[in-house]
Amino acid sequence: MESQLRNSRVLVTGGAGFIGSNLVEVLLEQDNEVVCLDNFATGSRLNIEPFLNQKNFKFIEGDIRNAEDCKKATDGTDYVLHQAALGSVPRSVKDPVTSNDVNVGGFLNMLVSARNAKVKRFVYASSSAIYGDHKGMPKVEEETGNPLSPYAITKKVNELYAGIFADLYGIEVVGLRYFNVFGKRQDPNGEYAAVIPRFVKSLILHERPEIFGNGEQSRDFTFIENVLQANQLAALATGSGALNTAYNIAFGERITLNELYSLLRENLSAFDPAISAIEPIYTAERPGDIPHSLASVAKARIQLGYNPQYSVKEGLQKAIAWYWENLK
């Protein structure tokens, strides 16, 4: 089974963001024609700057809430890797309407455009947030609980829409439930920054990072390279059993935030020994957060041939080296 996309035309929505720009990079390296649709809501021009002068790259500044922009980006496309969305549980708690407009309305526009353009496959970013209050661990795809945030609802609705579009119109869809992805170009700034870049930036600046709650909540942190592999496998998978469903995309191990903090501090101390003395500050828990998260990746292994190559420790070493170069 093919595992890498090559010589195809691929649309990456949200390509100026963290995951999207990493996808764009690898797809260009593999001789694809890549179109990126992004409105810079949370992404940045800096993330796509290295690609702008490449002849196989086309950037469309546009909004997935606008059906015309979606059509323009999708026409002539073989594969859609749909990443554009407003991430962050707290953002959706503060402004559920905008999260819904982008994550549900925009998603539906993209599905309609992909169907009309007769793309070969529509692969989209779902989320581990789908598991909500379900207590079982590890999380298996068929057992989800009640969503705990507007963000989680939007991702659940995405999966429902994708399923209906597969049934009604025959479009091939694959959802990827990412578990806390990290790696280069993940934004460390702003109130909705993800935990790893937020901690790393604070430590580099010799500031005390804030841990919400007691730090004993756990996550299956997933290095970006594993996500790049999963997207390509999902686009190329054959066999009807592999399609029109959603997969956990993670490494399949969890660590607590306190353990993560120690690992980050230890790794960064190699660059700057003063960091080893910095202690975190513990503050109140955040509403909507899931206490524990651990994925079973068995379904993706069996159906897609997913074989994550980077553990959290291996991924952190690479990510930290990048942040040290780019933030110090």
Residues tagged active-site: 151
- Least separation, in Å, of the C-beta of 30 and ligand NAD? 20
Closer CB to ligand NAD, residue 84 or residue 236?
A: 84
Q: Give the strand pairing for 173-178 and 245-249.
A: parallel
Which residues of this protein are in contact with ligand NAD, per CB under 6 A? 14, 16-20, 37-43, 63-65, 83-87, 102, 106, 125, 127, 178, 180-181, 187, 194
Closer CB to ligand NAD, residue 127 or residue 217?
A: 127
Closer CB to ligand NAD, residue 271 or residue 289?
A: 289
How far apart CA 53 and CA 49 sit, in angstroms, is: 8
- List the structure tokens of 77: 């496309």
Give the per-residue SS3 of 154-175.
HHHHHHHHHHHHHHHHCCCEEE
Contact 145, 135 (CB under 8 A): yes
Distances 197 to 30, 163, 173, 181, 328 between C-alpha atoms, Å = 28, 34, 31, 11, 13
- Least separation, in Å, of the C-beta of 99 and ligand NAD? 10
Distances 12 to 19, 32, 102, 148, 234 between C-alpha atoms, Å = 10, 12, 16, 28, 14
Closer CB to ligand NAD, residue 85 or residue 263?
A: 85
- Least separation, in Å, of the C-beta of 239 and ligand NAD? 25
Please classify residue 71 by burial: count the beta carbons closer than 10 Å to its beta carbon, then call 0-12 exposed, 13-18 middle and 19+ buried. middle
- Least separation, in Å, of the C-beta of 64 and ligand NAD? 4
